[in-house]
Structure 1
Amino acid sequence: MSGSGPAGKVTIAGLAQRLGMSKASISYALNGQPGVSEPTRARVLALAAELGWYPSSSARALSQSRSEAVGIVLARTPEEVGSESFYMNVLAGIEAILSEHDMNLMLRMVTPAPPPEPRRDLDVYRRWAGERRVDGVIVFDRFADDPRPQLLAGLSLPHVLVGAAEDAGPTPFGANTTVDQGADAATVVEAFHARGHRHIAYVSGPPGLTHEAARRAGIHSHASRLGMTAVFSTSDYTADDGGKATTAVVAGLAPGSPEFPTAIAYGNDLMAIGGLRALKRLGIAVPGQVSILSWDDSILCQLSSPAVAALARNTMELGRRSAALLLETIAGHQTANVAMAAGVLHRRESLANAAL
């Protein structure tokens, strides 16, 4: 007696015939549903494995009214995502949790639309919700007056905001993994202060992002508290633009002058490497005349010359916790914000005492 149908395809009907059971019982056993005993379920699964049978993901999703997929929409180019260690690590952490739960990841990258054009990512969320393509989404790069939380709540689409502010409240169908940017800013500023730096600079990503606004506020607050001054320059998270922003910070200033920043922090590793190259082109020694520090650690920071000091933030764990929180939200459980640990400073050659 065979458990196969036409062309050797293993079917539920074939399994039922071979085991002398109803098709309903076979379906319950294969899909982990109640209605059969554990010994019966074990018999069904053992035969299915022997015959190389796997349940249809589309049929299972239909029976459960779920897609078994999580979506991410990034308003970034593939080149930007592929070059930033932050995204690669967070995505790896997300995928690790999803694979444990046999969930799929749908990743869509859309080119940012300049104002006043409508944001292209919003249409993706609407289409996914309307077609029931995903069970929930993970949201990156929140900015001031961000329309996405309200849109997702209106679509009844479970979502998690990655790296939200600590005081970010939950929304309908939404939760947050939070990062205390003020605490990390204090670590950066105090590291500079302890080495005698009194005039510092911060090269940030786009200022409209809420986490960048929080970093700038934190740097300003802690620098003022310690009797330091800080200047700010914005970039787009790329190495080339980080170099341009660095040049703008030191343009026309002679090392040793009161306005010259003796230490520069960067919002990510790429900008730090771009800044390091720009300073070398300008003939400014690192760390002899300027110390530099990256807000993100990566292999680039570790292998550069000199090696760049950095905040070690467990970005893979950020991805894991964000994915786990979304799965809890999708399951209908009450969720609360999940706070991430503060970054830990890795001191390397680029961080030294201020020149006298």
Structure 2
Amino acid sequence: MDRVVRSENCTGCGLCALLDTGLDMTLDPAGFSRPARIGPSTADDDAARRFRAACPGIRVDAQRPAGARRHATLGPILQVWQAWATDPAVRFAGSSGGTLTALAAWLAETGEAAQVIGARAASDNPRRTVSVRIQSREEALASAGSRYAPTSSCAVGGAADADSAFIGKPCEVSALRALPSPKGSPPTEPPLLLSFFCAGTPSQNATDSLVEGLGVPRDEAVRDLWFRGHGWPGRFTVVRADGTTVDTSYENSWGTSLGPAVQWRCKICPDGVGESADVTAADLWRADDRGYPDFTPGPGVSALIARTIRGRDLVLRAAAAGILTVAPLDIDELAAVQPLQRTRRHTLAGRLVGTRLAGGRVPRFRGFALLRLAAPRLRETFRTLRGTYRRRRALRLHS
């Protein structure tokens, strides 16, 4: 675990704290969630084996579930829809179409899941984001909307239980999908895994600086904070103690403050599209000819990708029950409006090689065909390699 953290390959997923209760996930000075020793280790050799098999700072494997075809940049595909929550209140609260919120509420209310692991603003300090157990519609609505901040949802007790449902970042979902059963125990199913397209985890410090830049001092208590939602695409909004609000656009909050502050491991991520999930949600942007988003406010629409038979069954049953409104979607339409995900995967080989040449360590990424994706783009890949080498080498020399 220490080697993963020292090499900056830690995603902050919390898997290590799930396997060793003597660990807790805390914010480090850079504002990222990292394991800290709070008590004697409860890990044994089997916990170490399970950690090595599943920690996304050590390895991530591309998925090939039964019946799915593989898209070069968006992972395994069984069926794809444009979708939104049928309930207008849920659709309004969500970051795009409210689909994951609707599924969380439905799974909790029907008892299909004993609990749904998710994330929401901390009740005592909404600047912070915490992982939570969702067991009602009200709790699902309270957790609606993206949180562009560190969380470690794998560390929640029961996160790996087969009767749970789990909504998390692709790295968290990858860890739970890959986690083997304890030695001597029969193989068990992972929880129902739901994820979303992810551009990386920004530092908590970036959120704090953004709030301060909007005129709210760091020592002032706030009533609420959301990054998106309350309409599409939503605005970064801070509700002060007196009920007044300050806000800024999604483009400004992510593009200027949060996006540039993502942790290093996210910059070498092979899977920002949640391909280890049963179902993955994504923004279905309206886009210009270059594929870049049009942020004109309107009703949110998600894309939903069923990656497994279990995931397809969930979406179809939710649609039949009136929880989701769905219509068929061509996967290439979604790929066309996700330029960041395409570019990251196409140039990742260059970033990995540049890191290694600069003396850094990288996780093992298997089955993503990164060299094949890079081959038609050698000039761009080499520029990425060279830039990564220079930046990583400079960091090592000054550390």
Normalising by structure 2, what TM-score? Answer: 0.26
Query: If each structure's strand is expressed as a fraction of its own residues, which one has the higher value?
Result: 2
Normalising by structure 1, what TM-score? Answer: 0.29
Query: If each structure's helix is expressed as a fraction of its own residues, which one has the higher value?
Result: 1
